[in-house]
């Protein structure tokens, strides 16, 4: 399909002095991605605004029935444009565009509609996609940039994993968060020097990161272990899930959030599944096979680095997740997060995180099916599973969401057969 000619393109000349604004989904990961893009000469502003005003701004442009992540990300960017902080004739916006069956493919068009409504249609909107949906002369996803971005995402996965497993137990409060910040700065300097993204270097820095977190002095306390799964934006974004990770920490829990790398392998593997089922070009199959191998190498190295320290729980491999999903759901179920969401619930329960919060935007049909819709089947296979589905929406109250999670934690405490669990109140 031909590209729309009416849209404003981001030109090579714009790259020199335009600020590119991006919404913030995963704070650790996106900070690293921002720094990678800056090392390639782009001026990137990662939005960190929160609060009800973002929701209210989004409701002006996106119907509440459309998609909560779209409402929030568009609301966050329009709020930034109206803040007076930016020269509106020297700013651009960026969004990912998947090209799949999810409504996320249409976020970019909703954003342009919002800009037009406010007379700001002269602001370029950049689509980040690998499906050839749109291109911009001033923003190119080159192979060197892609390699660094993939490395950045995997570093983000490891930092998130280790922080979540040390923060609840640290003797010196704030040490885990400080270590994350230290590594973000160090990795940024290395990226600027063209280092820390080759396979050998990544393996070395994985080991260094794991070693540094293993050096944090921890208290020997027992905590409830809680996993978080769900639609990718609501799963990671504190803006979307009302600071879910911090809420669980406050309740005295240890938190496990599956990483983004598994989702990346899932998206590539889906294309291989399609080719196997329906046929496809040999060239596409070779590219997808190579990408899967490349991602899997990062995954293997990450898991091995974590396993060197027995105090940490390493994530399962993608192949193990696929095996688990095959017990309850077909691998052809791939809209939204597809069977991967179901598999992540099962893997969390299997690895000791029996209490799971399933986050989903209200009305997100794919994730209601593979999330809430699969809970009964998961419990049949894994009776110890204690899963609570939580809907996130502009009209949903934080109090109601947190009360439902507290009820799940109370059930978890009751199951804890006479053991005292530090810091958790059933009330």
Q: What is the pLDDT of residue 132?
A: 63
| Token pair for 321 | 């997740």
Residue 379: pLDDT above 80? Answer: yes
Query: If we measure between CA atoms, which residue out of 78, 80, 84 comes closest to residue 60?
Result: 78
Q: What is the pLDDT of residue 29?
A: 96
* pLDDT band at residue 40 using 50, 70 and 90 as cut-offs: very high
Q: Please report the domains of the chain, with CATH numbers, ordered by start residue.
A: 14-140 (3.40.50), 222-259+315-416 (3.40.50)
Please state, in angstroms and as integers, the Cα–Cα distance from residue 80 to each residue in 46, 123, 186, 278, following that order. Answer: 11, 13, 29, 45
* pLDDT band at residue 419 using 50, 70 and 90 as cut-offs: low
* pLDDT band at residue 97 using 50, 70 and 90 as cut-offs: confident
Q: What is the pLDDT of residue 368?
A: 86
Sheet containing strand 355-361, edge to edge, reads 253-256, 224-230, 355-361, 386-392
Q: What is the pLDDT of residue 2?
A: 40
Q: What is the pLDDT of residue 130?
A: 65
Task: Name the maximum alpha-carbon separation found in the chain.
Answer: 67
For residues 117 and 111, give the distance between their C-alpha atoms in angstroms, rounded to a whole number. Answer: 10
Q: What is the pLDDT of residue 354?
A: 96
- What is the chain's mean pLDDT, rounded? 91
106-126: average pLDDT: 92
**In this predicted model, which residue has the larger pLDDT, 368 or 323?**
323
**In this predicted model, which residue has the larger pLDDT, 209 or 102?**
209
254 and 226 Cβ atoms separated by less than 8 Å: yes
User: With 0-12 CB in 10 A as exposed, 13-18 as middle and 19+ as buried, what is 13?
Assistant: exposed
φ, ψ dihedrals at 76, nearest 5°: -65, -40
Helix (H) or strand (E) holding 338: helix 338-350
Q: What is the pLDDT of residue 374?
A: 95
Residue 4: pLDDT above 50? Answer: no
Q: What is the pLDDT of residue 408?
A: 95
* pLDDT band at residue 99 using 50, 70 and 90 as cut-offs: low
- HSE value, Cβ hemisphere, 13 Å, CA-based, for 37: 23
185-196: average pLDDT: 92
| Token pair for 219 | 């208290």
Q: What is the pLDDT of residue 417?
A: 62
Three-state secondary structure along 80-138? HHCCCCCCCCCEEEEEECCCCCCHHHHHHHHHHHHHHHCCCCCCCEEEECCCCCCCECC
For residues 253 and 405, give the distance between their C-alpha atoms in angstroms, rounded to a whole number. Answer: 12
223 and 422 Cβ atoms separated by less than 8 Å: yes
φ, ψ dihedrals at 392, nearest 5°: -115, 130
Residue 425: pLDDT above 80? Answer: no
> What is the tens place of the pLDDT at every residue in 54-95?
999 999 998 877 889 989 999 999 999 999 999 999 999 998
Q: What is the pLDDT of residue 104?
A: 63
């Amino acid at each position: 399909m031909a590209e729309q000619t009416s849209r404003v393109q981001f030109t090579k000349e714009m790259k020199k002095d335009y600020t590119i604004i991006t919404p913030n989904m995963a704070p650790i990961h996106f900070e690293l991605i921002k720094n990678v893009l800056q090392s390639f000469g782009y001026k990137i502003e990662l939005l960190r605004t929160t609060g009800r005003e973002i929701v209210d701004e989004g409701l002006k442009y996106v119907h509440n029935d459309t998609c909560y992540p779209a409402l929030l990300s568009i609301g966050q960017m329009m709020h930034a444009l109206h803040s007076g902080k930016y020269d509106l004739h020297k700013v651009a916006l960026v969004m990912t565009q998947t090209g799949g069956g999810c409504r996320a493919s249409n976020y970019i068009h909703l954003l342009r509609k919002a800009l037009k409504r406010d007379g700001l249609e002269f602001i370029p909107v950049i689509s980040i996609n690998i499906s050839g949906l749109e291109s911009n002369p001033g923003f190119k996803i080159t192979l060197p940039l892609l390699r660094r971005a993939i490395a950045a995402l995997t570093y983000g996965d490891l930092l998130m994993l280790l922080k979540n497993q040390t923060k609840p137990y640290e003797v010196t409060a704030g040490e885990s968060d400080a270590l994350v910040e230290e590594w973000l700065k160090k990795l940024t300097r290395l990226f600027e020097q063209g280092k820390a993204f080759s396979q050998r270097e990544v393996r070395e820095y994985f080991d260094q990161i794991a070693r540094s977190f293993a050096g944090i002095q921890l208290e020997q306390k027992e905590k409830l272990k809680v996993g978080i799964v769900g639609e990718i934006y609501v799963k990671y974004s504190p803006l979307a899930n009302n600071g879910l990770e911090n809420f669980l920490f406050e309740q005295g829990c240890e938190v496990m959030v599956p990483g983004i790398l598994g989702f990346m392998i899932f998206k590539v593997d889906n294309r291989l599944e399609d080719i196997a089922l329906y046929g496809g070009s040999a060239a596409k199959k070779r590219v997808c096979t190579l990408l899967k191998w490349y991602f899997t190498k990062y995954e293997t190295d990450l898991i091995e680095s974590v396993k060197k320290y027995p105090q940490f729980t390493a994530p399962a491999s993608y192949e193990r997740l696929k095996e688990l999903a095959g017990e309850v759901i077909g691998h052809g179920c791939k809209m939204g997060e597809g069977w991967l969401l179901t598999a992540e619930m099962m893997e969390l329960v299997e690895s000791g995180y029996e209490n799971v919060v399933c986050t989903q935007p209200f009305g997100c049909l794919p994730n209601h099916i593979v999330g809430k819709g699969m809970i009964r089947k998961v419990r049949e296979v894994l009776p110890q599973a204690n899963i609570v589905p939580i809907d996130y929406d502009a009209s949903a109250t934080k109090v109601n969401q947190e009360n439902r999670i507290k009820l799940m934690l109370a059930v978890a405490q009751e199951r804890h057969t006479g053991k005292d669990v530090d810091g958790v109140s059933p009330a």
